[in-house]
Structures are given as structure tokens and as C-alpha cells.
Structure 1
Amino acid sequence: MRTLFAILCLAFTVAAHAQDDDTRYSDFRSWGLYPGDTPIERYIFADTAYVRISPDTKQPPLDTLFAGDNIQVAKVEKQALTIRGMQGPWLAVYYTKNGSQKTGYIWQGLVSCMPLRRGDIKYVYAPERKFDSTIVADGRKHKLSYFLMKLKVVQNGQIIAKASFATPDDESANWSEAKIMSGMGLTNVQQILVFTFSGEACGIPTMYHYLAFTKNNQLVQLPGKMTVGDAGVYYHDENFTFPNEKNGKPDMIFWNSKTEESNEKKLDKNGEPILEVTEKKSRAYTWDGTNLKVTEVKK
């Protein structure tokens, strides 16, 4: 089944790039920046970002902003810039510097995706660059493209933790969102951050990336999960059980998956094929709250 999903993901990637040929700035679709009458709140993602007086690098910087600084995006400009292999537009922004509200231009790659905060801590994330990887599926080698996502934890203007993770550069990266969970009963974990990437359409995987933020300000990547389905044809779902949930155990994370496929020989009352469970899998992971490690339990 893993081979099947690898082939499906490959097909989604090829389709995505074929579609992106007609889409401007496809590398930046995960940001979800579509300003209307109301400016969109974002953070500065780069450690240091220069604000320009015009949407180019011809003029000296107007101001300097830092990771976690608040900005409001008013407009996506037509002018573009390519950095680290990603082509993206300049943004017209509002920001506050030394108590005064100002306007200027910043390249989108220096700006965060969805803003996320808890108290005085800001979680600042965005794609940092792209890279390729090779997998073997159906007896052949295939090159797949990924985004290297970077997460920065900023408290009172200082970066106190950083981490990276990869997510496919396919239609599952058409938008992203993030949320903050509690430590879910894991020892020495104050919060778990979940980053979701999806295309919100049939047959397109939704990817979930989990990172633990510990009480001593460390970021640790936890196992991730995926869901994908095509109405009436198949459905694959993955779920976690954490220690503070029903059937949870101390410092254990349980992963379970279920795959359903249509059986054309069995129809419901409307004459549609019935989905039957064709595969179930489970894994268990131990969490070491002292050494901050997550390890899969070998069966």
C-alpha cells in the first residue's frame, strides 16, 4: 500500500507542476496571501528583513525588521524577485517602527505563513527553500520536489528555538494552516504544534506535521500523518492517540491507519459501491521527556 501511495503522490506532483505552468508564483501558494479590502496580518519570517521604498532592490533599505515583527500585507505587487530558487512577488505592507506607522515593500519570501502565537511567544513558519529527492516506485526511480519548511520560536523579539521539516511540493501544498495543542500529556512538553498542508480536493493528500515545544524551549519533530481519498473509490486515514486521550498511556504515542477501497460487487441502496476496509496498520512510539527523543517501538 505504501508503494501505491508513493505512485499516487507522484501522479499528484506531475499534475501539480503541469497546472503550475500557468500560475504565477506557484512556489508561494502555501502562504495564502490574497489581500482584499482588509490587510492581512503576518510576521516577519527572515532573521533580518529590509523594508524598501519601492518593490525592488535598487534603492537603499528604508527600515530593518526582525523575525516575529508584526506587519500587515495590503497588496501583492506585480514585480517579482527570485531567491533560493523561489520566485515570488513584492508585498506592499504596513508596519510600526519606533512608535510610528509606516508603509513600504518587502519580498514575500521574508514573510511568514499563517500567524500563530500563545502569550508572548510567536511561532513563525514559512518555506525556506526547495529541494529534490529520489524515490523508487513501481521499479523505477522518480524525482520528487519538496519544500524545506522552517519554524522559528520568537519570544520578546528573540529567536529562542528553530526547527525544519519537509513537505511535498505538490497539490497538497496549495494552502497551509497551523494550530497549537497542549502538551497532550507528554512529559516536559508544554505545547504541540501542528502544521497542515492540503489542496482541499478529492485525491489530494492532506499532510500533518507535528513538532513538540518542550518546557526547556527545544523543538522536537514528532511522527506525522496523512489522509487522502477519492469519493466512492478509496479512503486512507491516519490518527494518533496521545497520553491524555482515551486509551492513551504515559509517554506513548499510538499511530493507527485504515484504508478503505470500493467493492463494485457490493452496492448500497443507491447503487453505489460500498467502501470496505482493506488494510489496517498500527505503530507505537515512546517519548523520552529527559533526552527529548521519540522512538518507534519495534514489534
Structure 2
Amino acid sequence: MKGIFTIILLFIIQVFSAQEKDYAYANGVFRFEENKAQKVFTDWTRVRQSPSVDAQILDSLQTNQQVLIIKQDETILKLGERIANWYKISYQKDDKTSEGYVWGGNLCVGYRNKNGYDFLFGLTKTVNKKDKQYPEIIINQNIAAVKVVEGNMLIDEASFETGSGESLSYGTFNIESNHKLQNVELTLKAMVSGEACGIAGYDQYVLFKDKKLIALPQLMNVGDADVYYHTEEFIFPNDKGGVPNAFIFKMEEMEKDDKDREKKKKASKTYLWNGNSYKLN
């Protein structure tokens, strides 16, 4: 299994490097529709006169500021593993309507509102880290976050990893029930994934209770047609097979050998929830 992952990883790095030499393309999670509302994720996002980091700064916008996407500009900026277009926007501030350009990587991948709280999902930065299985390989790792805002005040923030740029083709952000976990008000689920085979997708569950965000262990799913797959999921108390005051992690993977025979592996572990925090049983 390690051999397959190594070959795929090196292939992805080579292909991505070759593409970067020819052109830059925006990550799918940063493609926003024109004439649609969007929200600012990065605090003090700069509004510029034109789509360039060298352009005059007209204003700065705080986290959760609503903007209207007027037009996507063709100019693309890459910061770390985040690649996004510039967007011409309009917004209301101090009883005045203003316009300018912002970089798409500073906007929310997704946002939701419930019970008077605004929940925001976005990317914050890229860091360099060693691969866990192959320390000689240095990978660029994106860091994302979920923020909860009440009015104009940031209440809490939970950060987590979201893979490399190849895993930013598609993203979703949804509010789910409390899954019958004691004292939990609701559950947030942030997801990013890639388009090609062999590119991992990541699911991040975040619990919300007493104005605090609690990130659960991250789930990773990857596969390549019918050659291999690796899946991870949680079984919550309200799911079939769930147990009270706990959530169960389940993993399954399959790999075909050179004779096309399937070799499967399964594993599970239980996390106990006491109404305030979780721990591995």
C-alpha cells in the first residue's frame, strides 16, 4: 500500500509542478458567482483600487462583512497553496456603498447562520511539514478554520488541516444536528476534495456548545477507480449502530494485488463524550 501511495504522491507533485510552469489556475473553492452575496473570512481584508497586491489600498474589511461579487477578474494570485482570482466587489460600510477589488482567497469557502450566530469556513494559510509516512518528503499543507461570529464579534475559532492545493477543487459547509451528543447545540461539517483520482478529500466535523467550537479528529477519504480506496467515517449516537455518549471512528481500505485480488482492511475505535470534551476509549 505504501508503494502505491508513494508513486501517486510523486506523480502528483511532478504534474502539478509542470502545470505551474505553464499557467496558474484558481482553486475551485475560490470560484464565486457574479451578482451573488459573499462574506469576508480573513480579518482586515484589503480592498484595492485594481486587481494587484501593488495597487492602492482603498479600505479594509473585517471578518463577516457581506459583499456583493460584481465581476471575477482574470488576474490570479497564488499565496502558498491557495490560488484565487481577484474579484470586483461592492459593499455597505458606514452607511455608504463602496467598490474595489479583493483577492478571492480572503473570502469564505462557505458560511451559514443559525440561532443568531454566523458560522464561517475558509482557508487561512499554507505551512510546510514533513510527510508522516515519508519524512524525507516536504509537503505544503493548507490550514483552514471555522469561525463563529455574533454580530461583529468573533466568539471562537477552530483550525485544522485541509491537505494541499489539489484537494481544493470542491468544498461544502453545512450545519447538522447535534447527533444526540449531550450538551451539543449543533454540528458543523466542512469538506474539501479534489477532482482527480488519488487526490484525498477531507471531512472536518466541529461541535458547537456554550459558544465554543470543538474540532473532532479529521476524516480522510481517497481512492483510484477500482484499484484501491481508503474511507473514514464517524458513527454518531443517532446513526445506525451508534452508542450513547460516544462516536465511533470506522476505517476501511481495499487494495488489489498484481493478480487482481482484493485485500481489505478494517479498523475502528471509540471516542467517549462527557458533555464537554471527548477522549479515546
Instruction: Answer whether contact 1:12 1:204 (CA < 8 A) is retained.
Output: no
Write the distance in 2 (CA, Å) between the matches of 1:294 and 1:4.
35
Aligned residues, how many?
A: 279
Does residue 144 (structure 1) correspond to residue 139 (structure 2)? The answer is: yes
Instruction: Name the aligned partner's letter for residue 183 of structure 2.
Output: N
Q: 1:189 aligns to what SS in structure 2?
A: coil
Verify the 8 A CA contact 1:17 1:170 in the aligned structure 2.
no
2:56 paired with 1:59:
yes
In the alignment, what sits opposite 2:273? 287
Deviation of 1:282 (Å):
0.7
Deviations 1:161-191 (A, max 9, x none): 1111112114222222111111111122112
Mapped partners of 1:4, 1:219: distance in 2 = 38
Please name the residue that 1:19 is paired with.
19
Shift in alpha-carbon separation, 1:17–1:155, aligned structure 2, 3 A: farther
Q: Given residue 196 of structure 1, which amino acid in structure 2 is its aligned partner?
A: M
- Do residues 202 (structure 1) and 197 (structure 2) align? yes
Structural mapping, 1:33-182, within 5 Å: 33-35=31-33, 38-56=34-52, 58-61=55-58, 63-79=59-75, 88-135=84-131, 137=133, 141-182=136-177
Distance 2:187 2:12 in 1: 29
> Structure 1's 185 and 277: CA in aligned 2 closer, same or farther, altered over 3 A?
farther
Q: Which position in structure 1 is the counterpart of 2:188?
A: 193
Supply the distance in 2 between the matched residues of 1:240 and 1:177 (Cα, whole angstroms): 18
Q: Deviations over 1:89-122 (max 9, x none)?
A: 4310122234554432222233211232224322
Secondary structure, in 3 states, of the residue corresponding to 2:19? Answer: helix
Secondary structure at 1:244 match in 2:
coil
Distance 1:181 1:149 in 2: 19
User: Distance in 2 between the 1:6 and 1:249 partners?
Assistant: 34
**Inter-partner Cα distance in structure 2 for 1:60 and 1:11:** 40
| C-alpha RMSD of matched pairs (Å) | 2.9
How much has 1:21 moved relative to structure 2? 3.8
Question: Quick one: structure 1 residues 86 and 235, their matched pair in 2 at CA, closer, same or farther if it must change by over 3 Å?
Answer: closer
Q: Distance in 1 between matches of 2:29 and 2:24?
A: 14
Separation of aligned partners in 2, 1:169 and 1:248? 32
Q: Which residue identity is paired with 1:7?
A: T
Partner secondary structure for residue 265 of structure 2: strand
Identity of counterpart residues, as a percentage? 28
User: Cα–Cα, structure 1 residues 41 and 104, in superposed 2: closer, same or farther, change >3 Å?
Assistant: same
Return 5+ residue gaps in structure 1 as ranges: 266-272
Structure 2 stretches lacking a partner, 5+ long:
none
Partner Cα distance (1:86, 1:123) in 2: 21
For the 8 Å contact 2:38–2:67, the answer to whether it is kept is yes
Per the normalisation by structure 1, the TM-score is 0.80
Shift, 1:74, TM fit: 2.3
Q: Is the 8 A contact 1:208 1:225 kept in 2?
A: yes
Check conservation: 2:39, 2:67, Cα contact below 8 A.
yes
TM-score (norm 2): 0.85
Deviation for aligned residue 1:16: 3.6
For residues 12 and 243 of structure 1, the distance between their equivalents in structure 2, rounded to whole angstroms, comes to: 41
Report the equivalent of 1:226: 220
Q: Find the aligned partners of 1:160 and 1:281 in 2 and give their Cα distance.
A: 36
Distance 1:231 1:87 in 2: 27
Q: Pick the aligned partner of 1:236 from 230, 238, 256.
A: 230
Secondary structure at the counterpart of residue 22 of structure 2: coil
**Of residues 187, 206, 217 in structure 2, which corresponds to 1:211?**
206
Render the CA deviation track for 1:224-279: whole Å, top value 9, x for unaligned.
Answer: 212222222222222211112222222211011222234676xxxxxxx6x74511
Q: Give the deviation of 1:84 after TM superposition.
A: 7.2
